């Protein structure tokens, strides 16, 4: 198995077999809209030490053009505000992500996730990274 495959498996376990964005149960890979591993920071832009790591990989329903995975690639600005896209020059380990249950989390290299504190979330508001709907 490749590092990317290992990280996708870890992401599925970390997310409880749900799409990180919408919460759809993606345990059954044959179920539409399916699932796919998403690099929060583009493979070509990411540091090789983080590129295929669990800190950079989330599982989303759909493919790169369908479901939530397609939505991320079609709505780059909002996806970046939610941490689903990490801009060039940023470190995915430092960019929190917003999940379907309304939690801001930092994804760790070991495959775990750490919830942000209230103070950290308030700082996101100041930085304009938090979506006002949440």
Token pair belonging to 78: 């909002």
User: What average pLDDT score do residues 91-95 get?
Assistant: 95
Range with the poorest average pLDDT among 3-7, 36-40, 53-57, 126-130: 126-130
Who wins on pLDDT, 99 or 124?
A: 99
Q: Which of 69, 54, 72, 62 is nearest to 15 (CA)?
A: 54
Mean pLDDT value across residues 106-118: 96
Cα separation, 102 vs 134, in Å, equals: 7
């Amino acid at each position: 198995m490749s590092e990317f495959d290992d990280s996708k498996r870890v992401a599925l376990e970390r997310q409880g077999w749900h799409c990180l964005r919408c919460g759809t149960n993606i345990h059954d890979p044959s179920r539409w809209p399916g699932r796919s591993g998403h690099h929060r920071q583009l493979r070509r832009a990411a540091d090789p030490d983080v590129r295929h790591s669990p800190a950079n990989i989330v599982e989303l329903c759909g493919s790169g053009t369908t479901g939530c995975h397609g939505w991320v690639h079609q709505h780059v600005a909002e996806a970046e505000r939610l941490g689903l896209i990490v801009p060039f020059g940023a470190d995915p380990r430092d960019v929190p992500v917003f999940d379907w249950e309304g939690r801001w989390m930092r994804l760790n290299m070991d495959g775990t996730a750490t919830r942000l504190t209230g103070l950290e979330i308030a700082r996101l508001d100041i930085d304009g990274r938090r979506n006002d709907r949440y």
